[in-house]
Amino acid sequence: MLNTRIAITSVIAAFVFAFGSAAHAQSTPAAPTPAASASADLSDGEIRKVDKEGKKLTIKHGPLKNLDMPGMTMVFSVSDEAVLDKLQAGEKVRFRAEKLNDAITVTRIEAAR
């Protein structure tokens, strides 16, 4: 009787281990490549206004996933003022915005492809 219990327990433990490992492997996503991750972090947008004096951009954008924000048109600060000389209204862009010092700030921006 004791040998039967040990055998059953061993079979159950092996099953749980095997099934648990397979379930964990299926539910654990593979780490994204750096290029894929960087691209996924960017949101689509269209420049509506470049305010060089105010050091701001107005962008009509899609969802900002990292900020849990829906698409809308809004004014952003910029972390690098040099980008203001390179952008113009109507230009399609991909960008990342983050909350820095209580302001939503564009920290990365590039032309859409």
Q: Using 50, 70 and 90 to split pLDDT, how confident is the model at 33? A: very low
Domain match, 1 and 41 both = no
> In the chain, how many domains are there?
2
Domain match, 51 and 75 both = yes
Domain match, 75 and 97 both = yes
Q: Mean pLDDT score of the chain, rounded to an integer? A: 80
Kindly state the DSSP code that residue 88 receives in the 8-state scheme: -
Name the pTM for this structure.
Answer: 0.66
Domain match, 56 and 102 both = yes
Domain match, 69 and 92 both = yes
DSSP reduced 3-state for 17: helix
Domain match, 25 and 46 both = no
- Provide the residue range defining the domain that includes 61: 34-111
Domain match, 19 and 48 both = no
Kindly state the DSSP code that residue 79 receives in the 8-state scheme: S
Is the pLDDT confidence value at 38 over 60? no
Domain match, 44 and 96 both = yes
Q: Which residue has the higher pLDDT, 41 or 29?
A: 41
H helix runs in 28-59, sequence order = 34-40
Is the pLDDT confidence value at 90 over 70? yes
Domain match, 20 and 42 both = no
Domain match, 42 and 26 both = no
Q: Using 50, 70 and 90 to split pLDDT, how confident is the model at 11? A: very low
- CA dihedral 42→55→60→36, nearest 10 degrees, is -10
Domain match, 57 and 74 both = yes
> How many degrees, rounded to 5, is the angle at CA 80 between CA 78 and CA 84?
70
